[in-house]
Amino acid sequence: MALTSFYHCYNECFKVNAIKSNIIKYMLHPLIKASKIIFRYITISFWTLSILLLLLFLTDTPKTAYLTAFIYRLSMPVYYYLILLVISFLLSPLYLNKYSKYLILLPKILFDSFLLSDYFVFKIYRFHIDMMFVKMALSDFKGIGMSPLMVILALLAITIISFINYKLFSWAEKHRIVFPKTILSALLLLFATGQAIHTWANYHQQVFITQYTPYLPYYFPTTSHHLMQKWTKKIRFGYPNLLKKGKQV
C-alpha cells in the first residue's frame, strides 16, 4: 500500500515537472530569445537612426562649457531609448508568431516618423506637435502650409524609415552585439546621472541646464523638490556653484 502511494506521488511529481519543463521549453525560452533580439534591434536601430533625428533637435540648442550641462544633454536621448526598449519588451510575445513578430517594429517606426515630422514643425513654428496641430493637419493641410507634394514626401519618408527598421530587425535576428550587459549598464548609468543633474538644476533654477529640456518633444525629466531640500541640508554639493565647470558661451 505504501509502495503504491509512493508510486502515485512519484508519477504526479513527474507530471508536474514535465509540465514545468514544457512551459520553460516552449514559452520561456522563446520569450528570452525574443527579448535578446528585441534588445539588439532597438539598440542598433536607435543608435544609428533615431539618434540622428534627435541630434537634429539638439544641434539648435545653445552651446555651453558647463560639464554638467554637457552630461545632461548627452543623456537626453537615453530617455527615449529606455521607453522604446520597455514597450518593445512588452510586445515580445508577438515574436512567437512569424507574421505578428513584425508588429514589434511598429512603435519604433512611429517614433522615428514622429521625430522627423516634429523636427520640421519645431523648426518652422518653434513648438512640438500636439493634438491641436494634428486636428489642423487632418482638417486643413493648406492651413498649416502642407501641400499635396509635402504629404507625398512624408509618406515616402515613412516608407524609407519602415524599410530601414525592417532591415535592422532582420540583422538583429541573425547577428549579435558585443557586451550587451555593459552597454545597457552604461546607458542606465548615463541616464541616472542626467536625471540627477536635472533634478538638482530644476530645484536651484539653473537655466544653463534646464534650457535644453523644451528642445526635445514630450521629454519629461525627473524633478523632486522634497528630495533636493533634504540633500541640500545634508550635502554641500547641493549648492549650484559647486557643480559648474567653465563658462557659458
Which stretches of the chain are DSSP H helices? 2-23, 29-45, 51-58, 67-90, 106-125, 131-139, 148-174, 180-204, 207-210, 225-234
First to last CA, the chain: 89
Q: What is the mean pLDDT of residues 190-205?
A: 94
Of all residues in the chain, the percent with pLDDT exceeding 90 is 57
So what's the pLDDT on residue 16?
Answer: 46
Asked if residue 102 has pLDDT above 90, the reply is: yes
CA distance 59 to 123: 11
pLDDT in tens, 134-148: 777 666 655 555 677
| CA dist., res. 104 & res. 91, Å (int) | 6
What angle do helix axes 29-45 and 148-174 make, rounded to 10 degrees?
130
pTM of the model: 0.83
The cell 558585443 sits on which residue?
178
| Distance (Å) of CA 5 to CA 8, 11, 14, 15 | 5, 10, 14, 15
Tens digits of residue pLDDT in 66-100: 899 999 999 999 999 999 999 999 999 999 998 99
* Structure confidence at residue 18 as a pLDDT band (50, 70, 90): very low
Residues contacting residue 164 through CB under 8 Å, at least 6 positions apart: 45, 49
Whether 10 shows a pLDDT value over 50: the answer reads no
Q: How far apart are CA 103 and CA 187, in angstroms?
A: 26
pLDDT score at 238 = 47
CA distances from 165 to 75, 107, 158, 221, 244 (A): 23, 11, 10, 27, 40
